[in-house]
Copies of this chain bind each other. A is one copy, B any other.
Amino acid sequence: MSRRVAVIGAGSWGTTVAALASRNSSTMLWARRSELAHELNHTHANSTYLPGFELPSSLCATASIAQAVTDADVVVMGVPSHGFRAILAEASPFLERGVPIVSLTKGLEQTTLMRMSEVVAEVAPGHPVAVLTGPNLSREIMAKQPAASVVASEEPSIGIELQNILAGATWRIYTNNDVVGCEISGVVKNVLAIASGMADGMGFGDNTRAALMTRGLAEMARLGIALGGQLLTFSGLAGMGDLIATCSSRLSRNHMVGQALGQGRSIEEITQQMSMVAEGIKSSLAVLELSRRHGVEMPFTEEVVAVCHEGRAASDAVERLMQREARDELDGLFS
């Protein structure tokens, strides 16, 4: 039986997921702007968020959220965290009972510190939730380069369904039952990508970045475990995998923000020039607040907050991170 898929949000990643789903399933992509929906339908392109790629002609777009989700068997949410609740609330009256909702969003809700799966449980109770995450840069997936992702859900059947809808010859989808760990990984890695970008912007090389990423992963895992996630998730595709891709990539927005900070530019100047959202800037505040509530030490997040929101120089922040007391490596690494 063919499944009908709705993808909400026509940014680069939402468009990519919709394009891939449309190979296997009837897929409708919702774009907020009707001009973008029109472009998607008539030129099979998304020149704003995914320039240079031809999209499948079978992919349909709409600016009507009701049209997008009515009769959908699966709804995929690909909007930034700050719009997630409002857009899901708009969509939810039109959802069939029990339709699974899949989050692509790697952020926390600023005001409540909720993960997106928690927002779903509140706005659309009764709908099973899944999270799609992993080392997934849109342009590389669109270019059919080999990649792997994770679908996390407490209900194994959703994971298997998404494997069927999304997986192709070059994209492997693994399943995982650790929703909390996968979401926290996705949120914290954006913060860590800013820190790693700062070191790159200062001209440091692979040793420095590798050390920062390794110590940063420990901080991610500490928070995730405190919230109920599983240690191994952080060593898998959602944790380490996504962290590596994001911190290595010249295509990552969070990495670009960090790099510009490391080169001495101000956060105001950087954000004014970006057309897309770098989730890590806002997430850093929410992550820090969450870490304090749970008594988890997160020195990287503290430094990113200080640089992005309190005027500390990136060079000071990187120096502070590298000069923390050397000690037994595993002492407190993940606990």
Contacts and interface: CB of A to CB of B under 8 A. Distances in A.
A176 B329 contact: yes
Interface string A301-335: 00000000000000000110011101111100110
Contacts of A235: 214, 217-218, 221, 234-235, 240, 333-334
A146 B329 contact: no
Given A210-B241, A241-B211, A329 B199 contact: no
A226 interface: no
Interface string A107-147: 00000000000000000000000000011110011010111
B333 A206 contact: no
Contacts of A167: 326
Interface stretch (A243-251, A258-266, A285-293): A243-251
Contact of A248 (B174, B210, B237): B210
Given A206-B251, A214-B135, A237-B211, A176 B330 contact: yes
Interface string A188-210: 00000000000100001111111
A173 interface: yes
A205 B329 contact: no
B174 A135 contact: no
Copies of this chain per assembly = 2
B170 A210 contact: no
A143 B230 CA distance: 38
A245 B205 CA distance: 9
A6 to B, nearest CB: 24
A232 interface: yes
Contacts of A199: 146
A183 B302 CA distance: 33
A214 B234 contact: no
B232 A137 contact: no
6 contacts: A163-B326, A174-B329, A175-B327, A209-B244, A214-B244, A218-B236
> Considering the complex of A and B, which 9 residue pairs feature the smallest CB-CB distances, nearest first?
A135-B210, A174-B329, A210-B245, A214-B241, A146-B322, A148-B211, A210-B244, A147-B207, A172-B326
